[in-house]
Amino acid sequence: MTSSGFSSQARSQPAKPAQTSVHAMLAHQEPSGAFLASRDFAPYHYCWLRDGSFVAFALGLAGEQGAAERFHRWVARSICGISGSVQEAVSRRQAGGSNVVGSMPPARFAVDGAVCHDDWPNFQVDGYGTWLWSLWEHISRFSSDGLIDELAPSVELAVAYLEAVGLDTCFDCWEENADAVHTSTLGCVYGGLRAAGSLLGSDKASRRADDVRGVIESQMTLEGRFVKSSVSTDVDASLLWLAVPFGATRAGSPAKATTAEAVAESLVLDGGTRRYPGDTYYGGGAWPLLTAWLGWYRSATGDLAEARRCQAWVEACFDPSGRLPEQCGGRQRDAASYNYWVARWGPPAADLAWSHAMYFVLWDQLQDQAVLPSPGDGLPAARAAAPNPPIQ
């Protein structure tokens, strides 16, 4: 399948913004299989495991099997290339030692799979869990059983890494706050370990996933909702990930709904969704990908009117050439911090692959109003989505 249109597994007449997003995601893929986070923003000329895994998931929904598999093979090669670093980190933790931030396996790679040697925070655990989840979704959707045999060495490395360090402090998904355990990161770890239980037939990974969920439920709540981290009681839009797609909370959990309402009420900017209250990155504007995520959650819980409102807001962020930015409204919200980042890095990313991915996921969710219960998550399942590993 080329970037000229959708495959037969996708909608035969996609809406123009959805088709635009598929083309944009494909245009961000390098020959190696990596997805550049953004082509028009030099600081993002890398591939993050987290961002790329969601792009691959969205392209799977669009029927772009080949592009998704090229990414998964790129991840596998990249992880094999750092096998020594992974094994060293695992052995150190198993022996009771502490993580050494500067030598931990990275979550961001150059597009050729090389490790980036710079002072930018790169010790993020969430990407490894997200990749395992995305790979499981892909294999389930396309019946690509042979792919897991091909990629098994890298999958085993990623699983061992998550089992060893998944409950430890690290940088969060926004590359901040290295001194904390982050709730959304735990959700990614949970999703990855549950996926690994099915990918490898590993009871150990499934049991470790249950341990992670226990920590989320027992240690990461306050006053009936989930908190940003072990050191911050703030709300963070990434907390939505606990529900969709990872199902890291039990069916009927009141904290799940309460947290989503806190996101919707506390992080709104002109109808879009911000990251967290104190955000100052390029003014702390509203992110299309997070607004789409809130829409995904609303769709999954049956609030289709609010899901469509989120979809319309994101669609209004497309520029005439079809670009979808990382965030909107930051200059108006906080001109001083916006100008600080412009002076440091130039204008913000005007076209972000991850933004296109989450828009397409939301668009796909809203194609059918009839949805079915998802096992263990308590939320309706995605239309035509591959099943998550069963949650007992």
From the list 324, 367, 288, 290, the residue with the least C-alpha distance to 20 is 324
Within a domain: residue 62? no
Q: Catalytic residue positions?
A: 172, 175, 326
Number of CB atoms found within 10 A of residue 110's CB: 17
Is 179 part of any domain? no
Per-state percent for the chain, helix, strand, coil, to nearest 5:
55, 5, 40
Instruction: Kindly tell me the number of DSSP H helices and DSSP E strands found in the chain.
Output: 14, 6
Residue range(s) defining the domain that contains residue 279: 267-386
pLDDT tens for the chain, 392 residues long, are 333 345 434 554 457 999 999 999 999 999 999 999 999 999 999 999 999 999 999 999 999 999 999 999 999 999 999 999 999 999 999 999 999 999 999 999 999 999 998 989 999 999 999 999 999 999 999 998 899 999 999 999 999 999 999 999 999 999 999 999 999 999 999 999 999 999 999 999 999 999 999 999 999 999 999 999 999 999 999 999 999 999 999 877 899 999 999 999 999 999 999 999 999 999 999 999 999 999 999 999 999 999 999 999 999 999 999 999 999 999 999 999 999 999 999 999 999 999 999 999 999 999 965 444 333 343 333 333 333 332 22
Beta-carbon contacts of 152 under 8 Å, excluding residues fewer than 6 positions away, are 200
Q: Is residue 315 part of a domain?
A: yes
Q: How crowded is residue 298: how many other Cβ atoms within 10 Å of its Cβ? A: 25
Query: How many domains are there within the chain?
Result: 1
Inside any domain, residue 14 = no
Whether 87 is covered by a domain: the verdict is no
Residue 156 lies in a domain: no
Q: Is residue 318 part of a domain?
A: yes
Phi, psi of 273 (to 5 degrees): -115, 125
Residue 111 counted as domain residue = no
